[in-house]
Structure 1
Amino acid sequence: MFATVDKDACIGCGACPDICPEVFKMEDDGLAEAYKNPVPSEVEASAKEAAEGCPTDAIHLED
């Protein structure tokens, strides 16, 4: 699974790194980044939770 963050849609709320810090972090520009790809299998569930919890649907997960 691969994770991406749509920077145009991200509002920098910080929910994704709170839920899944193994995959997401906040950048200096205040927006989120998916820094770990492919997503480690042991954190796929929390990456999905982060995507589902994103208020702007900025996180995209692909197999």
Structure 2
Amino acid sequence: MKITVDRSKCTGLGICESLSPDVFEVDDAGELVLKTDTVPAGILSDVQEAVAGCPTEALRLEP
């Protein structure tokens, strides 16, 4: 699965980073950095939780 970010919606709160730190990171400038744009094996549920927990709905998973 591919992870996409709508940068116009992302506010850099870091909820995704706390739920799935292997994939998401908020840098010192408050910008979201994707460590990978595909879901690594074994952590799909963490990434799904991060996507669902995004308060601005900036994250999506695509097949």
Q: TM-score, normalised by structure 1?
A: 0.87
State the 4+ residue runs in structure 1 displaced beyond 6 angstroms: none
Aligned residues: 63
- The answer (yes or no) to whether the contact 1:5–1:33 under 8 Å persists in 2 is no
Higher helix proportion, which one? 1
- Residue 9 of structure 2 aligns with which residue? 9
After superposing the two structures, state which structure 1 stretch, 31-40 or 52-61, moved more. 31-40
Q: Which runs of 5+ in 2 are unaligned?
A: none
SS in 2 for 1:9: coil
Q: TM-score, normalised by structure 2?
A: 0.87
After superposing the two structures, state which structure 1 stretch, 9-18 or 24-33, moved more. 24-33
After superposing the two structures, state which structure 1 stretch, 44-53 or 3-12, moved more. 3-12
SS in 1 for 2:50: helix
Letter of the aligned partner of 1:35 in structure 2?
K
Q: Identity rate of aligned residues, in percent? A: 38
Q: Which runs of 5+ in 1 are unaligned?
A: none
Taking only aligned residues, the RMSD between alpha carbons, in angstroms, comes to 1.2
